[in-house]
Structure 1
């Protein structure tokens, strides 16, 4: 579940500048976490080199792709509804081809192609470079499928196009896959084992973004803290690496340092972290560099040791709280956010109370909270009975959400009177006279436009707040400009 699902971005259709000479139209929608949106950028880049320009008009598309998520049942149901829509359009435009990418592709390959016959091609997360070949198969009247998971594919040689049309913030993928076999999670089965991307390709991509005027990057992975480059290959095979490979290996704190030093005027974020993999050395790097944002997304999932063990989380409640204490000590102004699951199999009222008490201890700035939904193929789905009723799940989730709302208010109020640095990202949704951006702690800040522009780093004195937004007045540019 270490996949933040940003609801306002679901189903976004990617549109890029047209490339002259391209004659075919691609319609591509993305669902799920930031990794899926990042992957859509890679897919669009590959297809741009193979004759496709993007379109937002479904009816004129030659190729329709949906990049899918398997993390929650709701996400799968949404994608199925979209596939029904695509096929309704396809009936009046038989030349249109429909394909499924990503995590659902890996999980439901035979259903989509053979049983339900609702798509023409199915492409897993490690097979995007094979898209031109697969499309040739489809053009010749055959269904096409490639869901082979790779030991070394990181797409480090693909220069992704960018979803963010504001040209300010960008995602930079540094790892793929996951080795943490949490019993509720499909990611290791849909994205494969963990492998890291070569550091120089990461730095080259960031340099390209800097040259194009981007101001902020997010280093992205299912588990960024366990980044480890030793020449390629799976993280689990590092134990058998040569002495030279081990001596020259680059881990996450070193990569973070390289990026921060190499791009002192670029703001740096990262997501997602796993408690058992976040080492103190990373905290010291964050504290040392002003351009590394003071926010850590640290999923916990439950406050109960018994449930954490059932989930195969590799940390205890006490270890997690100890890590929180370290973060507060080393980075006093750091915000912390969470992922939380309500109603995991066998969860008792006491387990739930343990979660609430952990939340009281941490007082998170914000969080992503879900009731448990059984995912086919996971260990929990195979071996555990989903025995907490929907009514109890709903009540417990509401109690978690209510407590988070209370803590978010209190954390927001702490900013009142402070002057914070904000990267202006867009015009505010509520007023054309105001800008919206985020501070270092990843909290949204809204302030009057005045003389500033999108892409500026602005110092803003906070005067009021809601639970999720800070409001203030600009007092000048920051030295990040």
Structure 2
């Protein structure tokens, strides 16, 4: 891909800033506060995108609310990965007919991956006529222009063209809290796994320039953020489209040089692009967490080929063996899909056996959900859902036992954790995360919120650790 067509120039960005200023003037003319609500579904990339939407709305003079009835602008930033998420979005859109009736001037926007799908855009056009603006991820950077068109043309606006995608640097951002921050290092995906809609709605891979990422992380570290997560649909394929010979390990090495008391995490990764160089770099780093989320999806080679995953079971195990060799304290998590079209019970049990062999710290598990527009949605799928549920329950039981055993090993240890929130449980009023990302419920001083603390682990279960501040 020609990077000249990917990187937006200053004139294009200034055009959006001018629309932002005009919208701020229109909002000021109303003589009362203009409230906006941004509701986010799906992955951390969507969270990062929503923070840019919030930044643009802030610069337009908006204040923020969690009450849809109060909001003058409602933005639903959607996910297209799972059917359940789409149903929730349609339910929320239906509920907004009532707020629109109470406030006819309310502007309702649908964006994100779900909005980029042609059949969804057409359904909204025909059946959700109270929605004013629909735009996909590739049009995020021109949200001010699109919203201005809604205001001034008094008509519905759709921006869901099949675009290759761009990179817009310098977009405003409103981050939630001052402890954790998300930094997108690349956008799009080239993998075309047969079950996944992402390449069709987020475009081809395109990497941000290294210096832009380094500047972002340096600024966040200077501002006192304690955890910085690097985001991409496949972070460890970073740099393949750059003119300079940078890969993801090179980027981590440079980021690790930035001074400060912080951890770097990243997600998500593809086994085909995970390398010993990457694991060696993680092992030598001061700031990169020894945590790896490496989705395997299946433990059966035939199913992996049907999924268009370009590695096999042996290759995956080889990667894990090396990563654990250089990082004995590595915390490993993964994604698994059960019930892929054509999968047999014996093949599903191959995945269960892989889980037993690897002993992941935790798994994100899913029963196959067909996504319209993907090759897997057209595959013959004769196994009933009830049968897949049995396989799924077996997988979860095995993993739950492993997680419980691994968590029990922490009992009696003293760990450095980041205290990041409160809970509803009076016995364990605070929550925290270990360097490996393990959840800790604890007792201690609330002044520790947002800080690293030493915690002695006193108990555990399948899903969490429990402890007290030392």
- Common fold by TM > 0.5: yes
> What is the match of residue 246 of structure 2?
250
The within-5 A match list for 1:159-308 is: 159-163=172-176, 165=177, 167-228=178-239, 235=241, 245=243, 248-308=244-304
Asked if structure 2 preserves the Cα contact closer than 8 Å seen for 1:124 and 1:149, the reply is no
**CA displacement at 1:432 relative to structure 2:** 7.1
Asked if structure 1 preserves the Cα contact closer than 8 Å seen for 2:265 and 2:289, the reply is yes
Within 2, Cα distance between the matches of 1:222 and 1:342? 21
> What is the match of residue 416 of structure 1?
411
Asked if structure 2 preserves the Cα contact closer than 8 Å seen for 1:273 and 1:298, the reply is yes
Asked if structure 2 preserves the Cα contact closer than 8 Å seen for 1:154 and 1:197, the reply is yes
Deviations 1:158-184 (A, max 9, x none): 242113x2x111111111111111000
Within 2, Cα distance between the matches of 1:357 and 1:405? 14
Instruction: Please give the secondary structure, in 1, of the residue aligned with 2:466.
Output: strand
Within 1, Cα distance between the matches of 2:301 and 2:363? 20
Q: Does 1:371 align with 2:371?
A: no
Within 1, Cα distance between the matches of 2:109 and 2:381? 32
- 5+ residue gaps, structure 1, are 1-18, 230-234, 239-244, 476-481
**CA displacement at 1:198 relative to structure 2:** 1.5
Within 2, Cα distance between the matches of 1:131 and 1:121? 10
**CA displacement at 1:120 relative to structure 2:** 1.2
Q: Does 1:459 align with 2:469?
A: no
Within 1, Cα distance between the matches of 2:250 and 2:353? 35
Q: Does 1:61 align with 2:71?
A: yes
Segment of structure 1 superposing worse, 126-135 or 280-289: 126-135
Q: Does 1:94 align with 2:104?
A: yes
Asked if structure 1 preserves the Cα contact closer than 8 Å seen for 2:165 and 2:203, the reply is no
> What is the match of residue 3 of structure 1?
none
Within 2, Cα distance between the matches of 1:159 and 1:430? 37
**CA displacement at 1:142 relative to structure 2:** 1.7
The within-5 A match list for 1:148-159 is: 148=161, 150-151=163-164, 153-159=166-172
**CA displacement at 1:136 relative to structure 2:** 2.3
Q: Does 1:137 align with 2:132?
A: no
User: Aligned-pair RMSD on alpha carbons?
Assistant: 1.9
Instruction: Please give the secondary structure, in 2, of the residue aligned with 1:95.
Output: coil
Instruction: Please give the secondary structure, in 1, of the residue aligned with 2:69.
Output: helix
Asked if structure 1 preserves the Cα contact closer than 8 Å seen for 2:430 and 2:446, the reply is no
Asked if structure 2 preserves the Cα contact closer than 8 Å seen for 1:433 and 1:448, the reply is yes
**CA displacement at 1:260 relative to structure 2:** 1.3
> What is the match of residue 479 of structure 1?
none
Within 2, Cα distance between the matches of 1:308 and 1:448? 44
2:133 to 121, 133, 154: 121
Instruction: Please give the secondary structure, in 1, of the residue aligned with 2:257.
Output: helix
1:388 to 377, 383, 389: 383
**CA displacement at 1:115 relative to structure 2:** 5.1
Change (3 A) 1:371 1:433: closer
TM-score by length of 1: 0.87
Count how many residue pairs are aligned between Structure 1 and Structure 2.
439
Within 2, Cα distance between the matches of 1:168 and 1:465? 25
Within 2, Cα distance between the matches of 1:123 and 1:133? 12
> What is the match of residue 4 of structure 2?
none
Within 2, Cα distance between the matches of 1:448 and 1:296? 28
> What is the match of residue 347 of structure 1?
343
Asked if structure 2 preserves the Cα contact closer than 8 Å seen for 1:346 and 1:388, the reply is yes
Asked if structure 1 preserves the Cα contact closer than 8 Å seen for 2:271 and 2:296, the reply is yes
Asked if structure 2 preserves the Cα contact closer than 8 Å seen for 1:125 and 1:149, the reply is no
2:463 to 443, 456, 468: 468
Q: Does 1:112 align with 2:107?
A: no
Deviations 1:283-305 (A, max 9, x none): 11111123211110011111111
> What is the match of residue 17 of structure 2?
none
Instruction: Please give the secondary structure, in 1, of the residue aligned with 2:348.
Output: helix
Asked if structure 2 preserves the Cα contact closer than 8 Å seen for 1:103 and 1:125, the reply is yes
Deviations 1:114-159 (A, max 9, x none): 4543411111101122222212222222211112455452333224
- 5+ residue gaps, structure 2, are 1-23
Deviations 1:409-464 (A, max 9, x none): 11111222322210111123313764321111110123321485112211223222
Within 2, Cα distance between the matches of 1:281 and 1:46? 39
Instruction: Please give the secondary structure, in 1, of the residue aligned with 2:138.
Output: coil
> What is the match of residue 4 of structure 1?
none
Asked if structure 2 preserves the Cα contact closer than 8 Å seen for 1:157 and 1:201, the reply is no
1:332 to 324, 328, 334: 328
Instruction: Please give the secondary structure, in 2, of the residue aligned with 1:431.
Output: coil
Within 2, Cα distance between the matches of 1:348 and 1:417? 43
**CA displacement at 1:310 relative to structure 2:** 0.6
**CA displacement at 1:75 relative to structure 2:** 0.5
**CA displacement at 1:33 relative to structure 2:** 0.8
